[in-house]
Amino acid sequence: MTLQERRILLNKVIMILSTTAALLGIIFLFWIIAVLFYKGFTALNLNIFVHDMAPPGREPSGLRNALVGQLILVLGASAIGVPIGVLAGTYLSEYGGKKSRLARLIRDISDIMMSTPSIVIGAFIYAILVAPMGHFRGWAGIAALVVMMIPIVLRTTDDMLQLVPGSLREAAIALGAPKYKMIIQVVYRGAKTGMLTGILLSIARIAGETAPLLFTSFSNNFYSTDLNNPIASLTVTMYNYATSPYEDWIDQGWAAALILALFVLGANIIGRIIIRKRKGEH
Partner 1 sequence: MNRTLDIIFHNTTRFFALSVLVVLGALFFVLFNEAKPAIDAFGLEFLTNSKWAPNMEIFGGYPAIYGSIVSTIIAMAIATPIAIGIAIFLSELAPPWLAYIVGMAIELLAAIPSIIYGMWGLFYLAPLLRDIWGGNGLGLATAGIVLSIMILPFMAAITRDAMKTTPAILKESAYGMGATRWEVLKDVVIPYVKSGIIGSIILALGRAIGETMAVTFVMGNAHKIPDSIFKPATSIPVTLANEFTEADTDLYYSSLFYLALILLVISFTVIAIAKFWFLRNLQEQKV
Binders in 125-154 for partner 1, by CB under 8 A: 126-128, 147, 150-151, 154
**Restricting to residues 4-23, which ones interact with partner 1 according to CB under 8 A?**
7-8, 10-11, 14-15, 17-22
Spatial contact of 158 and 107, defined as CB atoms under 8 Å apart: yes
**189 binding partner 1? (CB under 8 A):** no
Cβ contacts of 96 within 8 Å, gap of 6 or more:
102, 103, 106
**79 binding partner 1? (CB under 8 A):** no
Cβ contacts of 66 within 8 Å, gap of 6 or more:
53, 232, 233, 234, 236, 237, 256
- The mark string for 200-239 relative to partner 1 (x by CB under 8 A, - otherwise) is ----xx-xxxxx--xx--x----------------x--xx
Q: What angle do CA 25, 27, 28 make, to 5 degrees?
A: 70
* Distance between CA atoms of residues 196 and 176, nearest Å: 28
**42 binding partner 1? (CB under 8 A):** no
- The mark string for 232-261 relative to partner 1 (x by CB under 8 A, - otherwise) is ---x--xx--xx------x--xx--x--xx
Nearest distance, CB of residue 144 and partner 1, angstroms: 11
**274 binding partner 1? (CB under 8 A):** no
Nearest distance, CB of residue 225 and partner 1, angstroms: 23
**118 binding partner 1? (CB under 8 A):** yes
For the packed helices 64-90 and 234-242, what is the interaxial angle rounded to 10 degrees?
130
CA-to-CA dists, residue 59 to 54, 240, 244, 252, angstroms: 7, 19, 17, 12
**163 binding partner 1? (CB under 8 A):** no
Interface with partner 1 (CB under 8 A), residue from 99, 115, 280, 281? 115
Interface with partner 1 (CB under 8 A), residue from 54, 71, 119, 274? 119
Q: Provide the total of helices (H) and of strands (E) in the chain, helices listed first.
A: 13, 0
